[in-house]
Amino acid sequence: MDETSPLVSPLQESIDYSLSEANNLRTPGSVVRVSAGSPGRSRERQPLLDRDRGNSPRDPHRNDFPDDPEFREIVRKAEQAIEEDIFPERIFQGSSGSYFVKDSQGKAIGVFKPKNEEPYGQLNPKWTKWLQKLCCPCCFGRDCLVLNQGYLSEAGASLVDKKLELNIVPRTKVVYLASDSFNYSAIDRVKSRGKRLALEKVPKVGQRFHRIGLPPKVGSFQLFVEGYKDADYWLRRFEAEPLPENTNRQLQLQFERLVVLDYIIRNTDRGNDNWLLKYDCPMDMEGNRVSRPKTFQHWVMVKEPVIRLAAIDNGLAFPIKHPDSWRAYPFYWAWLSQAKVPFSQEIKNLVLPKLMDPNFIKDLEEDLYELFKKDPGFDRGQFHKQIAVMRGQILNLTQALKDNKTPLHLVQMPPVIVETARAPQRANTESYTQSFQSRRPFFTWW
Ligand SMILES: Nc1ncnc2c1ncn2[C@@H]1O[C@H](COP(=O)(O)OP(=O)(O)OP(=O)(O)O)[C@@H](O)[C@H]1O
Ligand SMILES: [Mg+2]
């Protein structure tokens, strides 16, 4: 692998074992090596750093998404609305500064979470987190996560979702927005007001300012999904009024996609309020929603009942290590009845070929690197650890899918990390070091 590659571990020592297939090696501490002639090599030779080098210098805060004009258009609508004083609105129930972003008609089109208003960001409008930092620094934050990079985790989850074609995360990207409704420091507000005044009074001086308004905030922008409700709400409803068989199957398939996503990114915050469901029930003759199968013959089927899942709030994922025993951050979906059903053939067909392809994994890691390196606090060592956890999760998931396990079995597997290390003598070879967590910290009570 290239010397400059971000994916070469700072770890220099690796135990040298012979070549083997990564997914077959399950012995703690054993090493899996990928040969110099492996299919991943051609891609490895491509420069990994600064893929966009050579572009002309441009406004670093411009929201440009050449590969996604639809997303660009939605962000443009949001910018336009802000110019027309239709400001993003704070989501009050959240533990940090999150905002519903609107279009010029006041319709919600996105959810924006600025980096500096995250739970542990400097400008988090919720003072309880600030108090926690002050009074109880040892319990501050989740020590398995990179602090204050939730917006990248949100965008990273969307990236993983897209690459695996899961289609459950509303598209999320890193965006810059400025709005009067965001939480700014008094200094920023005074500066902005001063500049405006100067522009009005002495236009010649004012024109020399680089920027007049409030400074744009970097954050995650997730597309707003309409007509969805917390999974908690619907799951309770479905307990009382069971779904028709076909719809139930749809729910199961969507649920499996959530499991795959959460497990790979090792989401530490997947309560049943952090995924949404949309259930389009069939209608009766009066146009009322009907969901009881026994009245089925009396329905006028306006449309097939459709169930869709949206995985939102992915800001607390991509940990640098597996959670420890006293703060396990379980996946709350593991308690649901759906988690006791073996993975379907559909999900295996969708993800197994990708997860077993070394090129796919390498590509995924490189894309995550391109995304995560944007943060001013980016740390290559930490990134390696995040990737090592993700590789371990992928290894377990692949095994579970091959072995026809259930999601519940999956979460009971001992956590693994897979680190890359360059063999000292042969600079062109790359090896993976697998290590297993010695304890089985969570889900042992099942
Ligand atoms: N993409 C979306 N589309 C529609 N509604 C959304 C979307 N994202 C979030 N919401 C709504 O906003 C609420 C809060 O969102 P979210 O959980 O992402 O924010 P948060 O600030 O991280 O909150 P918390 O810290 O309490 O989890 C959700 O419960 C959901 O109702
Ligand atoms: Mg939430």
Predicted pLDDT of residue 317: 97
Residue 22 placed within a domain: yes
Residue 446 placed within a domain: no
Candidates 98, 99, 167, 183: which one to mutate for ligand 1, based on the most atoms within 8 Å of Cβ?
A: 98
Greater confidence (369 vs 241) lies with 369
Greater confidence (13 vs 265) lies with 265
Residue 443 placed within a domain: no
- Closest atom of ligand 1 to 93 CA is 26
| Ligand 1 and 95: CB distance under 6 A | yes
Are 219 and 174 within 8 A, CB to CB? yes
Do 37 and 180 belong together in one domain?
A: yes
Give the distance (Å) from ligand 2 centre to CA of residue 233: 14
Residue 423 placed within a domain: yes
- State how many domains the chain has: 2
For 320, residues 6+ apart whose C-beta sits below 8 A from its C-beta are 144, 145, 146, 382, 385, 386, 389
| Ligand 1 and 158: CB distance under 6 A | no
Answer yes or no: is pLDDT of 197 > 80: no
Give the distance (Å) from ligand 2 centre to CA of residue 112: 13
Predicted pLDDT of residue 50: 38
Q: Do strands 416-422 and 172-177 pair parallel, antiparallel, or not at all (unpaired)?
A: unpaired
Q: How far apart are CA 290 and CA 274, in angstroms?
A: 26
- Closest atom of ligand 1 to 113 CA is 21
Predicted pLDDT of residue 290: 60
Give the distance (Å) from ligand 1 centre to CA of residue 240: 26
Q: How far apart are CA 118 and CA 96, in angstroms?
A: 5
Do 268 and 365 belong together in one domain?
A: yes
Predicted pLDDT of residue 9: 46
Predicted confidence band of residue 285 (pLDDT cuts 50, 70, 90) = low
Give the distance (Å) from ligand 2 centre to CA of residue 313: 5
Do 196 and 236 belong together in one domain?
A: no
Q: State if pTM tops 0.85.
A: no
Last residue of a domain, one of 192, 223, 254: 223
Greater confidence (422 vs 338) lies with 338
Predicted pLDDT of residue 432: 73
Give the distance (Å) from ligand 1 centre to CA of residue 313: 6
- Closest atom of ligand 1 to 313 CA is 18
For 269, residues 6+ apart whose C-beta sits below 8 A from its C-beta are 313, 315, 316, 317, 329
Greater confidence (69 vs 288) lies with 69
Instruction: Identify the CA nearest to 412 among candidates 375, 439, 384, 379.
Output: 439
Do 240 and 215 belong together in one domain?
A: no
Tens digit of each residue's pLDDT (9 = 90 or more) over 134-187: 665 555 557 899 988 999 999 999 999 999 999 999 999 999 999 999 999 888
| Ligand 1 and 225: CB distance under 6 A | yes
Q: Which two tokens stand for residue 284?
A: 């009766």
Give the distance (Å) from ligand 2 centre to CA of residue 272: 9
Do 142 and 288 belong together in one domain?
A: no
Residue 169 placed within a domain: yes
Answer yes or no: is pLDDT of 370 > 80: yes
User: What percent of the chain clears pLDDT 90, i.e. is strictly above it?
Assistant: 57
CA 187 to chain centre: 33
Answer yes or no: is pLDDT of 377 > 60: yes
Tens digit of each residue's pLDDT (9 = 90 or more) over 291-309: 554 445 554 555 668 999 9
DSSP conformational letter for 7: T
Instruction: Identify the CA nearest to 301 among candidates 283, 288, 278.
Output: 283
Do 241 and 188 belong together in one domain?
A: no
Residue 4 placed within a domain: no
Greater confidence (103 vs 4) lies with 103
| Ligand 1 and 222: CB distance under 6 A | yes
Greater confidence (231 vs 190) lies with 231
Do 210 and 249 belong together in one domain?
A: no
Domain that holds residue 328: 229-436
Residue 442 placed within a domain: no
| Ligand 1 and 91: CB distance under 6 A | yes
Q: What are the DSSP E strand ranges found in 137-208?
A: 172-177
Q: How far apart are CA 428 and CA 421, in angstroms?
A: 11
Do 177 and 240 belong together in one domain?
A: no
Do 242 and 209 belong together in one domain?
A: no
How high does pLDDT run on average in the chain? 80
Q: Mean pLDDT across the stretch 315-342? A: 91
Last residue of a domain, one of 174, 201, 223: 223
Greater confidence (197 vs 303) lies with 197
Residue 441 placed within a domain: no
For 198, residues 6+ apart whose C-beta sits below 8 A from its C-beta are 205, 206, 209
Q: Which of 207-211, 259-263, 325-329, 411-415 has the highest mean pLDDT?
A: 259-263
Give the distance (Å) from ligand 1 centre to CA of residue 255: 19
What's at 345, amino acid-wise? Q
Question: Looking at ligand 1, which residue's alpha carbon is closest to its atom 21?
Answer: 94
Answer yes or no: is pLDDT of 362 > 90: yes
Q: Where is average pLDDT lowest: 2-6, 37-41, 256-260?
A: 37-41
Question: Looking at ligand 1, which residue's alpha carbon is closest to its atom 23?
Answer: 94
Answer yes or no: is pLDDT of 361 > 60: yes
Do 57 and 105 belong together in one domain?
A: yes
Do 380 and 431 belong together in one domain?
A: yes
Predicted pLDDT of residue 135: 62
What's at 31, amino acid-wise? V
Predicted pLDDT of residue 52: 40
Do 216 and 246 belong together in one domain?
A: no
Tens digit of each residue's pLDDT (9 = 90 or more) over 25-84: 343 333 333 333 344 444 444 433 334 433 445 677 899 999 999 999 999 999 999 999
Last residue of a domain, one of 198, 223, 248: 223
The sheet carrying 430-436 orders its strands as 31-34, 430-436, 416-422
Q: How far apart are CA 384 and CA 319, in angstroms?
A: 11
Q: What are the DSSP E strand ranges found in 21-124?
A: 31-34, 89-90, 99-102, 108-114
- Closest atom of ligand 1 to 269 CA is 27
- Closest atom of ligand 1 to 110 CA is 1
